[in-house]
Amino acid sequence: MIVALDGPAGVGKSTIARKIANKASLFYVNSGNFYRAITFETIKNNLKSDNIIEIIAIAEKLKFSIKEDHLYVNNIDIEEHLHSDSVDSMVAQVSSIIGVRNIVNSAVREISKSMDIIVEGRDITTVVFPNADLKVYLDASVSTRAARRFNQGVSTLSLEEISKSIQARDEIDKSKPEGSLKISNDALYLDTSDLTIDEVCEKVLQKLSVM
């Protein structure tokens, strides 16, 4: 079984997908972390987001694996580096590179061949797994998403700066030449602005229970 979950930055996809994975006995895959890993390697190699050929070359050399919900690159756990402000500021540009998207999509599809999974990202329901057993699109207002990110305490930015960053990320995600953020026609659409995590999970699990 493949459950595909899309939505904009800061909507709570990771938390919700993990909970659903635990309750429905699915393997959790965060496609966004693959892009973050490539962005981290890009920064580590002192490259800018417009060094497209060099970034693709780096991405092609990375071997991805997931162990206990942590992403490993070339057998090194890099989970703690994935949500830094520097990665946050560049990941949208790196993830818009078509060559990078092809590499990540192939890696995610390969993982899906051997297990039942729930995958979250931006174009999972429309590009990566258009024939997924269940498609879900999570949404929330920019102010709600910014407040959630700010309250996590993992960013050094102010609430206003986080809000502007999310708005900028939305614009990039929605205007990508390939793999842009869209709502699939057959996806379960949920606005999570006024819903708790458990309420969102329950709605998705109810949908799964009748399949």
Number of domains in the chain: 1
Residue 207 lies in a domain: no
3-state secondary structure of 4: strand
Write the CATH number for 181.
Answer: 3.40.50.300
Domain ranges, residue 70: 2-193
DSSP 80: G
Residue 186 lies in a domain: yes
CA angle 52, 56, 60 (to 5 degrees): 175
Model confidence, pTM: 0.85
E strand residue ranges, the chain: 2-6, 27-30, 64-67, 70-73, 76-77, 117-121, 134-139, 188-191
Per residue in 25-78, pLDDT (tens digit) is 999 999 999 999 999 999 999 999 999 999 999 999 999 988 888 899 999 999
**CB neighbour list of residue 37: distance below 8 Å, 6 or more residues apart:** 62, 64, 71, 73, 78, 82
Residue 98 lies in a domain: yes
Per residue in 123-179, pLDDT (tens digit) is 999 999 999 999 999 999 999 999 998 988 878 899 999 999 999 989 988 998 888
Residue 210 lies in a domain: no
Residue 204 lies in a domain: no
Residue 205 lies in a domain: no
